[in-house]
Amino acid sequence: MSFHPQMAYDATFHKSSRRLEDEGPPFVYTEENRARFDEIVTRYPPDRRRSAVLPALYLAQYQQGYITANAIRHVAELLGISRADVEDVVSYYTMFYTKAVGTFVINVCRTLSCAVNGAERVTEELCAKLGVKPGQTDPSGTFTLMEVECLGACDRAPVIMVNDSWHENQSPETVARLLDDLKARGQAALTGCVHMVERKV
């Protein structure tokens, strides 16, 4: 029930209404991630270990691809806070995935400066090439397409972010090439694509 009888909530009313569906396999950090976690908590006062929840969740997400209830349990135990506290954070921040995503998550910026420079055409091309709508993963499980809000590189619009790598000044033609490159070379296609290289300044 919404606050106004004629304004019903739709399925995606507020981003923090996401629910965790997946218990997932048993989860503990790898030895390497555990060591990184132990280093990260030293950055905060000893009685404020909770501050490390975002970096701790990133470690879990990089290890497993997305955040499951078991990952939340592990992080909560290490930080000494409740699982509800951690889930509260996971459901709020959009960069934490609560469902399995493809090997490559393609985020297309859709906000004003990118939009007026053709971001919609870029999304259109990606949808056609992958056969998905924004928010979906292609049948092979390789690509997830997402639309995101301003990425903060409006001078190089339209911008897309593939996992953590940025690709700037995109057009339908360049994203089509990038997709082919990702299919052919995998992760290697993501290196060397930041600002200075692409703009050749």
Partner 1 sequence: MESVLIQHVREPNSFTLDFYLKHGGYDALKTALKKKPDEIVAMVEASGLRGRGGAGFPTGMKWKFVDKKTEPRYIVCNADESEPGTFKDHLLMERNPHLLIEGCAIGCYAIGAKVAYIYIRGEFFHVQQYLERAIDEAYAKGYLGKNVFGSGFDCDVYVHRGAGAYEAGEETALLESLEGKRAQPRNKPPFPAVAGLYNKPSAVNNVETLCNVPIIVSKGVEWYTSVGPEKNGGPKLYCVSGHVSKPGVFEASMKVTLRELIEGYAGGPREGRTIKAVIPGGSSVPILLPDQLDTQASFDGIARAGSMLGSAAIIVLDDTTCMVWLAENLLHFYRHESCGKCTPCREGTDWLHKILRRIERGEGQMRDLDLLASISANIAGKTLCAFGDAAVTPVQTTLKHFRHEYEAHIREGRCTLPADWRARQPVHAH
For partner 1, the binding residues (CB under 8 A) are 2-4, 7, 9-10, 12-16, 43, 45, 48, 50-55, 57-58, 79, 81, 85, 88-89, 92-96, 110-113, 115-118, 120-121, 123-124, 127, 133-135, 147-157, 161, 164-166, 194-195, 201
Rounded Cα gap, residues 70 and 23, in angstroms:
6
The minimum distance between CB 201 and partner 1, in angstroms, equals: 5
Nearer to partner 1, 26 or 94 (CB): 94
The minimum distance between CB 105 and partner 1, in angstroms, equals: 12
Closest CA to 98 of 79, 72, 76, 74: 72
Strand partners, 143: 104
Nearer to partner 1, 26 or 93 (CB): 93
> Do residues 123 and 90 make contact, with C-beta atoms less than 8 angstroms apart?
no
The minimum distance between CB 46 and partner 1, in angstroms, equals: 12
Rounded Cα gap, residues 98 and 94, in angstroms:
9
Rounded Cα gap, residues 47 and 197, in angstroms:
43
The minimum distance between CB 28 and partner 1, in angstroms, equals: 20
Quote the tokens at residue 197.
């290289």
Nearer to partner 1, 26 or 197 (CB): 197
Nearer to partner 1, 4 or 19 (CB): 4
Taken as a whole, the chain contains a residue count of 201
